Amino acid sequence: MARHTTVVTHGHELQRTWELAPRDVLDAGLRWVRSLGTGRRLVALIALALGVVGAIALVVGPLLSGYANRQVWAYTAVAFVYLMSTAAAAPCLSTALRVARSHWRRPVNRVAEIWAVTLIIPLILYLLLLGTLPGTENRLSIWFGWPLSPWLWGAILMVSLTGAGYFFLWLSSLPDLAIVRDQTDSARRGLIARLAGPWRGSHRQWRMIEKVVNNAGVLYVLIYVPTMTVFATDFIISMIPGYFTAVFPAYFTISSFEAGIALTIVTMAVLRRWGGQQDYLGLEQFWALGKMLLAFALLWFYFWWSEFIIFWYGRLPREINVLKYIMAETYLWPFVLAFLLNFALPLLILMWNPIRRSIAGPTVVACIVLVGNLIDRIRLISAGYSVPDITQHELHEIPAAYIPNLLDILILAGAIGGAVALVLFTFRVLPFPSIWEVTGGLWLRAHRPFKHARVIVVGKPE
């Protein structure tokens, strides 16, 4: 029963979604699935081609070289970590919005959750990268030399995360898959029918799915955070001798959340600009996510500073060498760029109300953050993969910076292209917006006169 009501028109542009009828949402979702524009097809094919080229580069480069020289694998690790920091982080945002139970999040959820479909790529990359991680005996790591660490236990984490991500996406898409199963008559129906199963939309199923989607999302976040913590230590901290820090895993995870929000905003902007989704992705969504992006940019600085200040005041030779290596000398420019693009520019741009309260402002900053996060991951992983002997207690000689070659660039571009292709192909069978979620919100809406104004009241179910 709807107990609380919320007026959604707080003096700014009224979200067009609330003016629509449920039939409009259904038609829009089905139109999205039925009409595969040539533009969308072309982009998907280009992204797929990039993915194929990246896979070939991976075989020709690191795989044929073997695991003797870890540095060859640096950009495969960058691709893995970047996808984990962006595509794998986006569903966490969806969970946060679901838990907060806001109505504006209804069209946003699918944008964030659909990136879970790309988890297969980091899973494959991780399994390939296992050979580059030395055993944890006789070196400092989070595993204390535990048997089969880090390989088996890291792989279990990664497989769990991938499974949880696909489970979360499948659950949140299940009612819409049933709509596509019944209302389209294309060749896709076979696959969709299998995915939708015997979903009939009974009262019992609705009660179950509304609760369990939230639970699945929370479970995903609960796996994501420790996974990123473990990977931060396995791929970076334990690879750089003398890098003794307890703050870095938190920094790594928080900056991933920032990139996940940025990826969601950029995807929303693309869907709005080229996908014709202006009715569902409006100012309200961009403004709200812009505020979150600003908050996470500030958190980026907070966690970086908390770590930096300890090294700065400690001034032990090993601490000075670590600072020189990852911030002050070897990777100075990547660090400066990461600092500017992840924190300084987002703060300087989004601190202005008119910019934050726009569609273009948060979109531009989101693009900046995505580039900044990539540069930050290149800096950290290149540093981790360039130390010849990771068993020493501290860095005695500061290694040279790793400069990527063409194969490295192709591997990185291929991983990103493959992820984009997967999302675009998934959008061929998954409607946008999420029909059941947006329609479910419309049932809670009522138009009411208020003096000379007209307001829309949206119920909040308990």
Partner 1 sequence: MAIREVLGIYKDLDSAVAAADALREAGFDRAEFEVLSNAPYPEGTFGEESGIHRLFVFPLIGACCGFAAGLLITGGTQLSFPLLTGGKPLLSIPPMIIIMYEGTMLGALIFTVLGVLFESRLPWIGKALYDTRITAGYIGILVRTAPERESLAISALRKANPEDVLTEGGSVGGTAPAAQ
Q: Which residues in this chain contact partner 1 in the complex, by CB under 8 A? A: 1-2, 22-23, 26, 142-144, 146-147, 149, 153, 156-157, 160, 163-164, 167, 171, 175, 178-179, 181-183, 197-212, 215-216, 219, 222-223, 226, 230, 435-436, 439-440, 443-444, 459, 461-462
Length of the chain: 462
**Rounded to the nearest whole angstrom, what is the least distance from the CB of residue 435 to partner 1 in the complex?**
7
**Rounded to the nearest whole angstrom, what is the least distance from the CB of residue 432 to partner 1 in the complex?**
16
Query: Minimal CA–CA distance to 377: which of 285, 200, 256?
Result: 256
**Rounded to the nearest whole angstrom, what is the least distance from the CB of residue 130 to partner 1 in the complex?**
16
CA distance 326 to 324: 6
Cβ nearer to partner 1, comparing 79 with 180: 180
Cβ nearer to partner 1, comparing 207 with 396: 207
- The distance in angstroms from the start CA to the end CA of the chain is 7
Q: Under 8 Å CB-to-CB from 414, ≥6 apart: which residues?
A: 50, 51, 52, 53, 54, 55, 57, 58, 79
Cβ nearer to partner 1, comparing 146 with 274: 146
Cβ nearer to partner 1, comparing 386 with 439: 439
**Rounded to the nearest whole angstrom, what is the least distance from the CB of residue 134 to partner 1 in the complex?**
16
**Rounded to the nearest whole angstrom, what is the least distance from the CB of residue 151 to partner 1 in the complex?**
13
**Rounded to the nearest whole angstrom, what is the least distance from the CB of residue 163 to partner 1 in the complex?**
6
Cβ nearer to partner 1, comparing 129 with 171: 171
Q: Is 321 exposed, middle or buried (0-12, 13-18, 19+ CB in 10 A)?
A: buried
Cβ nearer to partner 1, comparing 161 with 269: 161
Query: Minimal CA–CA distance to 387: which of 235, 229, 233, 230?
Result: 235
The DSSP symbol for 324 reads I
Cα atoms in the Cβ-side hemisphere of radius 13 Å centred on 461: 12
**Rounded to the nearest whole angstrom, what is the least distance from the CB of residue 176 to partner 1 in the complex?**
9
- Do residues 421 and 41 make contact, with C-beta atoms less than 8 angstroms apart? no
- Do residues 297 and 366 make contact, with C-beta atoms less than 8 angstroms apart? no
**Rounded to the nearest whole angstrom, what is the least distance from the CB of residue 361 to partner 1 in the complex?**
33
- Do residues 179 and 221 make contact, with C-beta atoms less than 8 angstroms apart? no
Strand 445-450, strand 453-461: pairing: antiparallel
CA distance 150 to 147: 8
Cβ nearer to partner 1, comparing 39 with 201: 201
Q: Under 8 Å CB-to-CB from 336, ≥6 apart: which residues?
A: none
List b or e across 32-42, with b for residues whose CB sees 16 or more CB atoms inside 10 angstroms.
bbeeeeeebee
- Do residues 370 and 337 make contact, with C-beta atoms less than 8 angstroms apart? no
Cβ nearer to partner 1, comparing 321 with 439: 439
Cβ nearer to partner 1, comparing 180 with 297: 180
**Rounded to the nearest whole angstrom, what is the least distance from the CB of residue 320 to partner 1 in the complex?**
28
